């Protein structure tokens, strides 16, 4: 197998594993089937009607980190994190802490109580790491079992990485049906002789295969504070024979059978042969259609509940089974010689033709894969570990079916890097499919690969989600979520949309877009500069939620760099003047582009419009000039301007002016911009008011206008003008 084919096969396996992990958990109707990345199958559940009894109750909790990131975790018992729940075999994988004892600390002791469920003695091992360490494990009462390890070694010995053989690392088993344990650690010489390479000893229970010893672990194992532990669970506290005598409490439903637990008290259920699903739910075990997979039928297969039967076509004789008499035509014996000869020739020719066709197809696909930047993309994705499993590789046939063979009626629009089609996948999911214009141009290949790499590591509700790509076609294809309400530019142009967006909606779009860009700059694993922020790249869903799209021009900025030198790329009217002159790209370039979008939102005009007078063609320059000359009202969008929001629009105008300053150092960061816009939305008042006296002074004219009512649009705009003039005066006096 060639290197390219191996890379493609690895990517397909990663995508298949991701799709399998996303399967819906088997729960009762109306119950949570997932907590974070963990599925919650019945008999487990998070609420009273969702689990079989209190022993199977789990909690889904969300905690906030100091950085403000939310972490969702499934908890069993008092505070035991759950990593996985399996029905067959009946196992619960949880996370348990590592016990440690160092030369500068006292006697170490740690205990855990798991309740009714037992620790699997076949799937876990008690592990000790150290060179002057005594470790033991026993039940909490100390009268059922006790075992452990004593490790003595020096750095002159040869430590074997990957092997826990008794030199620096020891593993031992323990009895089954253990529901709690305590770990004790001590040192004979307080690590005096080994402190330079082993200052601490460690002990823990871990799932077999989850820990691989290395010499570095003797220096410091604190980077692994927890390990997975497999627990055996069972329903009830009876054997199968006793449980079946009481049908009202018997947990196994139709098409399932009972098995006595080997690791704990009670029993568990499994689907009968020929069925699959959840044996604890009514109708949970579904019939498997064996006819769709490998079976023993030579011709016709007939699926039945839990099994299948075989038959022969009309005119043939036999039982239809490959290992039986099969299906034979009556005159087969007469023409056997001729048939065998023809069959050999036909098979030989077919094999040769098929092999040639497969080689040609394989060569063509490999050619397209290389042409579309496949190797470069794999290299980039592998460098971003932890994100490759989010990208699914689609086949060309799947996307042809989804787009009706890329019919023109499915075209959503034409972007800078290709044409976008609407597609419908077999599960009825609507997606947007970008057909790249790559035609051998290396820069366009890098743009396409760049968009895959960037989007594969982004997870934000205001950024379009990448579902996968297709590389086996003449031009590469991207598949991402479908946003059904067009672009912000479509909603701002009167010719395309007769109903203008309200000011509240515009402010919401601005705040959500700023939050997304701030996430790219500060929260992504590697900072991302979008480099093409514009209203045409801000999509809106049916609720007018903003979605930032089109990452073909985006750049990843290493954490140790603040800016990158690159060829100027973007859209005129939104490009940072400092970036155009120097070619130095940094986060403030996105701030400038976003400032232009803010100007579009408050003026209702496009960034560049050649039908306007020459001094007004560049909206950013015209806006800055108008602000300087105190002519803000003349360029504001009268469709959203009224007395109620005049001062809020003014505040956004001053924020936009700060964003489009020529000197990048004088612009705010996107985090500051996002916080200010969020504040405007959340507070519903003037963030710039300094005190009660000033607030009364600024609001007094508004009270007079409100008393006079809103007789007509000109009266409303006049009141807004007065408020804006006062706001501008206040801003200037305040030194802004």
Q: Alpha carbon of 418 to those of 412, 421, 483, 547: distances in Å?
A: 11, 10, 17, 19
Which of 226, 225, 246 lies closest to 237, judged by CA? 246
In angstroms, rounded to a whole number, what is the distance separating the alpha carbons of residues 661 and 578?
10
586 is an active site residue: no
Which of 705, 728, 723, 725 lies closest to 715, judged by CA? 705
Which of 232, 225, 260 lies closest to 122, judged by CA? 232
Q: Which strands sit side by side in the sheet containing 124-129, from one edge to the other?
A: 99-102, 200-207, 124-129, 169-172
Q: Alpha carbon of 470 to those of 241, 374, 453, 465, 533: distances in Å?
A: 54, 10, 14, 16, 26
What is the number of residues in the chain? Answer: 736
Name the β-bridge partners of 86.
91
Residue with tokens 């030194």: 735
Residue with tokens 């934000």: 460
In angstroms, rounded to a whole number, what is the distance separating the alpha carbons of residues 187 and 152?
10
Task: Determine the 3-state secondary structure of 127 from DSSP.
Answer: strand
The catalytic residue among 217, 232, 447, 532 is: 532
Helix axis angle for 619-628 and 646-659, nearest 10°, is 110
Q: How far is CA 252 from the centre of its chain?
A: 35
Is the preceding omega at residue 655 within 30 degrees of 0, hence cis? no
Q: 78 is written with which tokens? A: 């008092």
Task: Determine the 3-state secondary structure of 581 from DSSP.
Answer: helix
In angstroms, rounded to a whole number, what is the distance separating the alpha carbons of residues 382 and 301?
44
Instruction: Provide, for the chain, the percentages of residues in helix, strand and coil under a 3-state DSSP scheme, each rounded to the nearest 5.
Output: 35, 25, 45
**Pair 659, 595: CB distance under 8 Å:** yes
In angstroms, rounded to a whole number, what is the distance separating the alpha carbons of residues 220 and 199?
8
In angstroms, rounded to a whole number, what is the distance separating the alpha carbons of residues 113 and 99?
15
Phi then psi for residue 310, to 5 deg, are -120, 150
In angstroms, rounded to a whole number, what is the distance separating the alpha carbons of residues 314 and 715?
89
Which residues are marked as active site? Answer: 532
């Amino acid at each position: 197998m060639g290197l390219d084919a191996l890379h493609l096969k690895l990517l397909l396996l990663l995508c298949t594993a991701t799709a399998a992990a996303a399967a819906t958990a088997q729960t009762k109707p109306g119950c949570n089937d997932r907590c974070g990345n963990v599925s919650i199958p019945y008999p487990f559940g998070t609420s009273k009607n969702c689990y079989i009894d209190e022993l199977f109750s789990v909690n889904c909790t969300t905690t906030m980190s100091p950085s403000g990131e939310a972490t969702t975790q499934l908890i069993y018992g008092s505070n035991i994190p759950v990593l996985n729940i399996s029905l067959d075999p009946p196992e619960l994988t949880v996370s348990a802490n590592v016990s440690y004892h160092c030369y500068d600390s006292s006697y170490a002791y740690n205990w855990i109580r798991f309740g009714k469920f037992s620790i699997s003695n076949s799937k876990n091992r008690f592990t000790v790491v150290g060179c002057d360490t005594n470790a033991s494990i026993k039940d909490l009462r100390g009268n059922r079992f006790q075992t452990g390890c004593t490790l003595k070694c020096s750095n002159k010995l040869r430590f074997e990485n990957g092997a826990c053989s008794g030199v620096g690392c020891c593993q031992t088993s323990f009895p089954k049906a253990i529901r709690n344990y305590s770990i004790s650690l001590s040192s004979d010489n307080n690590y005096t002789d080994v402190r330079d390479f082993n200052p601490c000893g460690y002990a823990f229970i871990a799932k077999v295969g989850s820990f691989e010893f290395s010499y570095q672990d003797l220096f410091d194992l604190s980077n692994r504070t927890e390990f997975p532990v497999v627990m055996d669970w069972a329903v009830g506290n009876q054997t199968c024979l006793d449980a079946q005598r009481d049908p009202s409490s018997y947990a196994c439903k139709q098409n399932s059978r009972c098995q006595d637990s080997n690791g704990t008290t009670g029993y568990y259920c499994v689907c009968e042969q020929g069925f699959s699903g959840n044996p604890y739910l009514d109708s949970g075990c579904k019939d498997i259609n064996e006819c769709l997979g490998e079976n023993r039928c030579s011709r016709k297969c007939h699926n039945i509940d839990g099994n299948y039967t075989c038959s022969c076509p009309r005119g043939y004789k036999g039982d239809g089974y490959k290992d039986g008499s099969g299906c034979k035509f009556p005159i087969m014996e007469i023409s056997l010689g001729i048939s065998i000869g023809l069959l050999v020739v036909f098979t030989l020719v077919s094999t040769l033709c098929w092999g040639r066709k497969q080689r040609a197809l394989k060569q063509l696909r490999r050619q397209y894969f290389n042409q579309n930047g496949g190797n470069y993309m794999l290299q980039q994705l592998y460098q971003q570990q932890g994100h490759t499993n989010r990208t699914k590789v689609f086949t060309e046939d799947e996307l042809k079916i989804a787009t009706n063979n890329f019919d023109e009626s499915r075209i959503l629009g034409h972007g800078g890097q290709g044409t976008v089609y609407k597609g419908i996948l077999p599960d009825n999911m609507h997606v947007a499919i970008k057909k790249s214009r790559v035609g051998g141009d290396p820069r366009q290949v890098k743009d396409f690969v760049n968009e895959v790499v960037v989007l594969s590591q982004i997870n934000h509700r205001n950024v379009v989600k990448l579902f996968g790509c297709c590389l086996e076609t003449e031009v590469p294809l991207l598949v991402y979520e479908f946003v059904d309400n067009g672009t912000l530019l479509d909603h701002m142009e009167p010719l395309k949309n007769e109903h203008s967006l309200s000011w509240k909606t515009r402010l919401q779009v601005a705040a959500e877009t700023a939050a997304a860009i701030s996430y790219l700059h500060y929260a992504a694993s590697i900072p991302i500069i979008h480099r093409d922020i514009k209203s045409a790249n801000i999509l809106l869903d049916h609720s007018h939620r903003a979605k930032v799209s089109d990452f073909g021009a985006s750049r990843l900025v290493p954490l140790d760099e603040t800016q990158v030198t690159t060829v100027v790329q973007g859209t005129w009217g939104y490009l940072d003047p400092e970036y155009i002159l120097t070619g130095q790209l940094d986060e403030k370039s996105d701030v400038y582009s976003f400032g232009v979008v803010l100007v579009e939102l408050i003026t209702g005009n496009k960034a560049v419009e050649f039908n306007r007078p020459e001094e007004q063609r560049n909206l950013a320059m015209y806006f800055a000039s108008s602000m300087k000359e105190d002519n803000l009202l003349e360029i504001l969008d009268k469709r959203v301007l009224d007395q109620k929001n005049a001062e809020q629009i003014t505040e956004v105008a001053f924020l936009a002016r700060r964003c489009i300053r020529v000197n990048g150092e004088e612009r705010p960061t996107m985090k500051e911009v996002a916080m200010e816009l969020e504040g405007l939305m959340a507070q519903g008042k003037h963030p710039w008011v300094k005190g009660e006296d000033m607030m009364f002074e600024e609001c007094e004219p508004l009270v007079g206008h409100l008393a006079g009512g809103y007789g007509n649009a000109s009266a409303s705009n006049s009141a807004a003008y007065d408020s804006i003039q006062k706001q501008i005066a206040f801003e200037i006096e305040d030194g802004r």
